[in-house]
Amino acid sequence: MPSFDIVSKVDPQTLENAVNTAKKELQTRYDLRDTKGGIELDKKTNVITLTSENDMRIRALEDIVLTRLVKQGIDGTALDFTEEAHASGTMMKKAVKVRAGIDKDAGRKIIKAIKDAKVKVEAQMQDDQVRVSAKKIDELQAAIAALRSADIGQPLQFVNMK
């Protein structure tokens, strides 16, 4: 029975390259050249920490990071900007999470989008991925097309097509 897996992951090397490029841009930007903060990537937890003196500069740092990620080929929806910036002494800090894996809510959205497309496939949640199987490969391709047009809220990759 043909099947494929739906995953959501970000290449760690590409992410690191994008953050390093954003750091270089931070040093060369005229409006941010006297900024005491910076951009840091924690590779183990996949969190980008933005530090600056005020909220306006935090938003500028968000824009720099997002622009560099998109230019490196990483989908902008892979970043979670929902957490608010908080004061840490005289500096403001904001933690931006990089989404990796499909959580339960996103898995439900994916399965619902497949069912709404009225495609004859079976979708089931497996840890941090969704396995989709069908009798024909054409039905799997129709499911992929339906998911590409649906708004799930995070980047999706389709792997292990068998």
Rounded CA gap, 148 and 102, in Å? 15
Assigned token pair, 53: 């003196």
At a CB cut-off of 8 Å and minimum separation 6, what does 129 contact?
A: 5, 6, 7, 101, 102
Helices 104-116 and 137-149, axial angle in degrees (round to 10): 120
Question: Hey, do 3-8+101-159 and 12-98 end up sharing a CATH topology, with the first three levels equal?
Answer: yes
CA angle centred on 98, ends 92 and 36, rounded to 5°:
25
When pLDDT is cut at 50, 70 and 90, the band that residue 67 belongs to is very high
Please tell me the pTM assigned to this model: 0.81
Burial class (CB in 10 A: 0-12, 13-18, 19+), 85: buried
- pLDDT tens-digit profile of 10-40? 899 999 999 999 999 888 888 777 778 889 9
pLDDT over 70 percentage in the chain: 100
- pLDDT tens-digit profile of 91-114? 889 999 998 888 888 888 888 888
Tell me yes or no: is domain 3-8+101-159 CATH 3.40.50.1580.
Answer: no
Strand, helix or coil for residue 138: helix
pLDDT over 90 percentage in the chain: 25
Domain boundaries, the chain: 3-8+101-159, 12-98
Question: What is the predicted pLDDT for the residue at 77?
Answer: 87
CATH, domain 12-98, list 3.20.20.70, 3.30.70.990, 1.10.3470.10, 3.40.50.620: 3.30.70.990
